[in-house]
Amino acid sequence: MVALTSAIKGKFGFIGITSYLIGMIIGSGIYITSNKIFISVGSWGPAILVWIIVGILSMVGALCFAELAAAYPRQGGSYIYIKKELGCFPGFIYVFTRTVMLNPMSQAVMTIACATQVQIAIKPCTNTVPTKFIACCLILLMFWLHSFHAKLITKFNALITFIKVLTIVGVFIVAIVYLAKNRISLTPAFQEVSSQPSDWVSAFNGCYWSYAGWQSLSVVIEEIKNPRKTFPITVVTGVGIVIVAYVLANMSFFIVLTPQEVKSSTFILNTFAAKIAGFSLEVPFSILVFFSLFGSYLGTGLGSGRYIFSAAREGDLPRPLSLLHWKLNTPIPAQATNMILSLIFIVITESIGVLLGLFVFVSIALDLLVILSLFFLKYRMRNVRREYFQVNVLLPVVYFVFVLAILVASFLKGITELILVPIVFLVVGCIVYLVFIKYKLVNPDTSRIEALMCQAFLLVYPS
């Protein structure tokens, strides 16, 4: 029997992929970290500067990824860059950590947060539905959408992204009207600025994670139409829109709320709405936050399955995970694997947030490996004329120093004996690489499984 193959098709144009990028970045982070950053730096002027500086640095990082994406327009993004430039072992450790731990764990945290917002919304109408049950249902819904309804999910994501941006613009307009009607004046921009370096580290760290998400865009590079041209324009446009949105949101909060109200707020958007309306808007805003989180998961869930697909196609994960649906052109086995891992994290542990916090160090270190790959690429191709997109070497240097500073400061501030957990996981990854990849001490024959999957689920091999 001749094995059928299918090339990955470009599904996303500029608008579709830009909405994905914006949707992946803007979640509920802006509404949770805004007051924390204000508390850290002590005044609204420095807080706005932190949001702008980290936003610009995020754009710099995204442009660095754009050069790597232009050099290697292949599904898998960071994993491919590291493997091609630094070698098979770093590439395997990256994708093993990303697919087995980081991605499903972060999605479990996100879906539990979504489920919590659903509980708040339905609380006035019904008895509480178990959080984990709602989260598991959301995981299953995401698998169904990512595997069988790529066009629908693109339109849905664009709609949610539009709602997110429109909400922030609406909040800003309301704040300006409130300012004009009440004739209030802001406190001095740089009053009571913190002089403690640790406070500024916390501010930059929180802001860095509020901008995170753009790194996953390169994972679906083969599904972007004309990627070498579209990708750089997308990251500049998308991150630029997010910077403006974040600054507008923060200015709105600082206009309406007093410094004390900002500091004492748990969820600043609800505090803002309560002051404007005169009563709590917990239920409508819980729905809004749900859609913000859900929209972010639309993007990250898509990328997580594609990581698994890419690693299987490159030979670092079992080959059956690289199969595509013959008609839909989606990696259903890879998406199903990501779904199962996410469900496991939801079901088996009550401390996902703690574990994810520990793996934050690993995630930052992996980002450093990507930038290191760019340095290797630039050095190796220094005498070769390249027609595709490139950045000045100063940009990756600046971004590398910034991320390294975040890593070192976060590590020194948050080091505990629990740091052994990610270390043990990395040791396990090394053992798996030596046994299954390097020396092939265990090399199972999956041909029968592949044939069965192809016939049962209408799957084909990627070309």
Task: Go through the domains of the chain in sequence order and give each one's CATH number.
Answer: 5-462 (1.20.1740.10)
pLDDT attached to residue 379: 96
How many CB atoms are located within 10 Å of the residue 264 CB?
12
pLDDT tens, 224-274? 989 889 999 999 999 999 999 999 999 999 999 999 999 888 778 878 888
CA atoms of 39 and 35, how far apart (whole Å)? 6
pLDDT > 80? residue 365:
yes
How many CB atoms are closer than 10 A to CB 195?
A: 7
Q: 37: closest CA among 24, 53, 18? A: 53
Closest by alpha carbon to 312, among 338, 341, 343? 338
What is the value of pTM for the model shown? 0.90
Cα 276 from Cα 272, distance rounded (Å):
6
Residue 198 has pLDDT above 90, yes or no: no
Query: Do strands 459-462 and 324-325 pair parallel, antiparallel, or not at all (unpaired)?
Result: antiparallel
Which of the 8 DSSP states describes residue 12? Answer: B
Closest CA to 12 of 251, 276, 266, 298: 298
pLDDT band for position 2 (cuts 50, 70, 90) = very low
With CA atoms as reference, report the closest residue to 377 among 82, 97, 24: 82
pLDDT confidence of residue 298: 79
pLDDT tens sequence across 284-315: 777 887 888 888 887 788 888 999 999 999 99
Q: Residue for token digits 């052994």?
A: 420
Read off the pLDDT of residues 87-97 as tens digits, 9 standing for 90 and up.
Answer: 999 999 999 99
Question: Nearest to residue 301, comparing CAs of 60, 114, 68?
Answer: 114
Compute CA distances 67 → 4, 261, 305, 355, 365, whole Å. 33, 44, 23, 32, 20
